[in-house]
Amino acid sequence: MAKVYQYGNNVDTDVIIPARYLNAPDEKSLASHCMEDIDPDFAGSVEPGDIIVGGANFGCGSSREHAPLAIKSCGVRCVIAASFARIFYRNSINIGFPILECPEAVASIHAGDQVTVDFSTGIIKNETTGRTFQAAPFPAFINGIIESGGLLKSLKARGIAK
Amino acid sequence: MGMTMTQKILAKHAGLSSVKAGQLIEGKLDLVLGNDITTPVAITEFDKAGLTRIFDKEKIAIVLDHYTPCKDIKAAQLCAKARAFAKRFDLTHFYDVGQMGVEHALIPEKGLAAPGEAIVGADSHTCTYGALGAFSTGVGSTDMAAAMATGSLWFKVPQAIKVTLTGTPGTYVSGKDVVLHLIGEIGVDGALYQSLEFTGDGVAQLTMDDRFTIANMAIEAGAKNGIFPVDEQTRAYLKDKVDRPWEAVDADSDAVYTREVVIDLSALRPTVALPHLPSNTKTVDEVAGMEIQQVVIGSCTNGRLKDLAEAAGILKGKRVAPGVRCIVLPATQKIYLDAMARGYLETFITAGCAVSTPTCGPCLGGHMGVLADGERAVSTTNRNFVGRMGPVSSEIILASPAVAAASAVAGCLADPEKIVRGEQ
């Protein structure tokens, strides 16, 4: 079951993936430096299916898509946060990486808890405490992008791109 | 129900007579921008999606400014990729070393942003052009790829915070002090998902360069965009730069705002943001004397001519203190030449500053002024996050060009007024 990595408010894109590594934007390189400046042990210990829980304004700062890409490339299943900075929010949706906004869940999930997430319903369950939470639902339009697997694939699905 | 400036621009670009906050729209774009870090990722996505056409070769701008002149082999490969894409599609507005400047200083200077336009850029500080009454916002690389192909993007119509500026700022108070004060008041997520719409009689007391600085840092309050009304100064600025027709928008008198913040410019003091958040603000009076090793004057926030004039005014006839490295980066080639013609560059070099070709370099810890362990910089840039300019133990204090120049002279965080009077 998924491990939880917990961070505070205002986790910025510079700590998610420092600019000194943006000269190599391949997924493997980004993953190997993910969260390096806030949690040097993260990249070495994260396993596919793990979950990141953040506070308010997660992903603030630079527009670098490398940030959600780095997290996604580590195999992280989703980020649950009290709120997201808007460019990080857009970028995650656009690359088909699930994010959930749910302050209540963030307040009662702790590092080491076992957490399961149902993206179709937005229900987050803390298996350790037995409590469940309902994340804010995405509008249908945005759900369409996520379900297509990202913005460019959704353009194809809508016949806008070839 | 009335609309804000931002809502009016979005409605027009979506082909709608009105929009309301929260509505999802598809908006046509007047300009799509990218840099040497974000464009290569956009190109990868563009190619991966099998896209083969762009919407308009006149409306895509690529500026190689972050790691340039290329700092290493990997950076050079990224630039080569962007260069090849620009050539493949014969982009009119491709700016390479020698022509390029820091993108958000360059784009307005080249007349590529005008009132009422809708602009996206794969760089968070794209919000800068709100100073000209445009809707402009930062997006990611996938958005850039989609926008280059289709000329449009989806937007959620934002709510807005009304920021009313009154009074006249004091001698050493600039746009940077205004925006740092604002971020200190509302917090780094105080305007999350919202517009910051500036208004009030204080706007006329701010130069265009001050307004660019303020709109530039709207993102540091979490805002989608920051926007100013168009006035005589805006028109004068645009006169020799933009010859296509443009239309200024005003907010409706019954536009709805989530809150109003009133700032009396005459009451502001030079303001700084201590590590590690732009909202961690103090007046310089509260924290003067903090030890520093480096000063950076430049960036998309504060690398314009007025910024250099303010810094030169303080450094003229003085020396950078021993133990401090002061790096000055004019933001564009034109600003570089203007600063040279006015003698600012001579002032900087005589004072012991290093003067650099335009680059974002040190702002993001890329090159041209990276810090060592435990070092602290006073910087006119926009972010003081952990590890932004060097290792996690390094620190950044965000400040105006006047405070940065005064600090270079004093060898510690300093009040420009005291330096000019010779009191510190």
Can you tell me the ipTM of this complex?
0.96
Q: Using a CB–CB cutoff of 8 Å, tell me whether B395 touches chain A.
A: no
CB distance B41–A94 less than 8 Å? no
Residue A161 pLDDT > 80, yes or no? no
Residues 109 through 138 of chain A touching chain B, CB cutoff 8 Å: none
- pLDDT number for residue B159: 98
> Is the distance from CB of B265 to CB of B173 less than 8 angstroms?
yes
Give the residue among B354, B406, B398 at the shortest CA–CA distance from B377: B398
Q: Using a CB–CB cutoff of 8 Å, tell me whether A140 touches chain B.
A: no
Residues 113 through 172 of chain B touching chain A, CB cutoff 8 Å: 121-124, 126, 138-143, 145-146, 149-150, 154
Residue-wise pLDDT for A72-91, tens only, equals: 999 999 999 999 999 999 99
CB distance A15–B387 less than 8 Å? yes
Give the residue among B19, B4, B30, B21 at the shortest CA–CA distance from B229: B4
**Residues in A touching B216 (Cβ below 8 Å):** none
Residue A1 pLDDT > 80, yes or no? no
Amino acid at B235: R
Ordered DSSP codes for B34-60: EETTHHHHHHHHHHHTT----S-TTSE
Residue A162 pLDDT > 60, yes or no? no
**Residues in B touching A153 (Cβ below 8 Å):** 49
Query: Among partner residues A14, A139, A151, which is closest to B24 by beta-carbon distance?
Result: A139
Residue-wise pLDDT for A23-82, tens only, equals: 999 999 999 999 999 999 999 999 999 999 999 999 999 999 999 999 999 999 999 999
**Residues in B touching A23 (Cβ below 8 Å):** 37, 67, 71-72, 74-75, 78
Q: How far is A2 from chain B (nearest CA, A)?
A: 28
CB distance B189–A22 less than 8 Å? no
Q: Residues of B40-56 as b/e, b for ≥16 C-beta within 10 angstroms?
A: bbbbbbbeebebeebbe
- pLDDT number for residue B387: 96
Query: Among partner residues B45, B52, B364, which is closest to A152 by beta-carbon distance?
Result: B45
Residue A139 pLDDT > 80, yes or no? yes
Give the residue among B60, B81, B34, B63 at the shortest CA–CA distance from B149: B60
Q: Would you give per-residue pLDDT tens digits along chain B (424 residues)?
A: 899 999 999 999 999 999 999 999 999 999 999 999 999 999 999 999 999 999 999 999 999 999 999 999 999 999 999 999 999 999 999 999 999 999 999 999 999 999 999 999 999 999 999 999 999 999 999 999 999 999 999 999 999 999 999 999 999 999 999 999 999 999 999 999 999 999 999 999 999 999 999 999 999 999 999 999 999 999 999 999 999 999 999 999 999 999 999 999 999 999 999 999 999 999 999 999 999 999 999 999 999 999 999 999 999 999 999 999 999 999 999 999 999 999 999 999 999 999 999 999 999 999 999 999 999 999 999 999 999 999 999 999 999 999 999 999 999 999 999 999 988 7
Q: Using a CB–CB cutoff of 8 Å, tell me whether A10 touches chain B.
A: yes
Nearby residues of B392 by Cβ (< 8 Å), 6 or more positions away: A37, B386
- pLDDT number for residue B423: 83
| Residue B33: C-alpha distances to residues A2, B64, B103, B126 (Å) | 39, 11, 9, 8
